[in-house]
Structure 1
Amino acid sequence: MAAKKASASSLVVMAGEASWTKKELDEVLTELHGQREKLAHVIEDAESDLAGLMKDAGDGAGHDQADMGATSFERDHELTVVNLERDMVAQIDRALARIEDGSYGICESCGQPIGKMRLMAFPRATLCMSCKQREERR
């Protein structure tokens, strides 16, 4: 049996905020899906670049120490990019799952509403502003 998708009006909002409209939720969904598609292409390109760098890493013939250092730096950079992009895809997938199950908009730390305006500006948000600020101070 397929899971029932939460309706826009059933999503949590902060006191004083209007309920989510279908149009607003559709905008967030479009943004999340668009970001996910873009990141998938970035990851694919970075993995391709990384595969080339890894293949070249074993071939030290004709490379001086500076060339090998530059290649190592490029490889480390590509690994970092791929890992950051994968993390963002995981955040997007979590946001989409939370929209689906109706928990979107609830802070994962304190359980209070995140705020519709924050979510519209940053759809992957999982923490309210207070909890996010507390996390960043650590």
Structure 2
Amino acid sequence: MTGVRKEAGTARLTAAETSEFKARLRSERAAMQAEYAAAVAELDNLRRSHTDGAGNDQADVGNTTFQREQQQSIAANRRDLLDQLEHALERIDAGTYGRCENCGRPIPKARLTALPMATLDAACKSREERR
């Protein structure tokens, strides 16, 4: 491996470490599914209260619209996080978890510990964010 610099914490994950990440991701997925369901239920409640004729003056309508848009944003965020968790679990099953989807280098364990659904190493993520 000439010309390849090995950084601390970038070794391939062991089977035990991968199992730990899988258990953590499953736990986070279950929690996120509950949060998403709660956000959707709250959004449904807001829609129902608006269609029931409650709050017919302009201030009430504006407030309801704001609350609904805020709840839509929360639900969309939870759905996105849920998708990321699902993708990470799929990568574990495929044997590609812990490797950067862009360059193929190992993602440091410290990064995976902080963000277990990370798909890019720090350098590739930084380049992506600059675009």
TM bin (shorter chain): 0.7 to 0.9
RMSD: 1.9
User: Which of 58, 68, 73 is matched with 2:61 structurally?
Assistant: 68
Q: 1:69 corresponds to which letter in structure 2?
A: G
Structure 1 position 90, deviation (Å):
0.7
Match of 2:16 in 1: 23
8 Å CA contact 1:32–1:92 kept in 2: the answer is yes
Going from structure 1 to structure 2, the CA distance change for 1:53 and 1:22 (only over 3 Å counts) comes to: same
> What is the number of equivalent residue pairs in this alignment?
125
Deviation of 1:92 after TM superposition, in Å, equals 0.6
| Match 2:83 to one of 79, 85, 90 | 90
Opposite residue 13 of structure 2, the aligned amino acid is: W
Give the distance between the partners of 2:54 and 2:118, measured in 1 at CA: 48
2:105: which partner in 1? 112
1:121 maps to what in 2? 114
Higher relative contact order (CA 8 A, sep 6+): 1
| One-letter code aligned to 1:132 | K
SS in 1 for 2:119: coil
Paired residue for 2:70, among 77, 86, 89? Answer: 77
Alpha-carbon offset, residue 21 of structure 1: 3.2
Asked if structure 2 preserves the Cα contact closer than 8 Å seen for 1:60 and 1:68, the reply is: no
User: Structure 2-normalised TM-score?
Assistant: 0.84
Give distance in 2, aligned partners of 1:111 and 1:61.
Answer: 55
Q: Render the CA deviation track for 1:80-118: whole Å, top value 9, x for unaligned.
A: 111111111111111001111111112112222222221
Structure 1 segments of 4+ aligned residues over 6 angstroms from their partners: none
The 1:61–1:35 alpha-carbon spacing in structure 2 relative to 1, beyond 3 Å, is closer
Which blocks of at least 5 consecutive residues in structure 2 are unaligned? 1-5
Q: Which residue of 2 aligns with 1:43?
A: 36
Output the TM-score relative to the length of structure 1.
0.80
- Write the distance in 2 (CA, Å) between the matches of 1:108 and 1:19: 14
Distance between the aligned counterparts of 2:129 and 2:54, measured in 1? 46
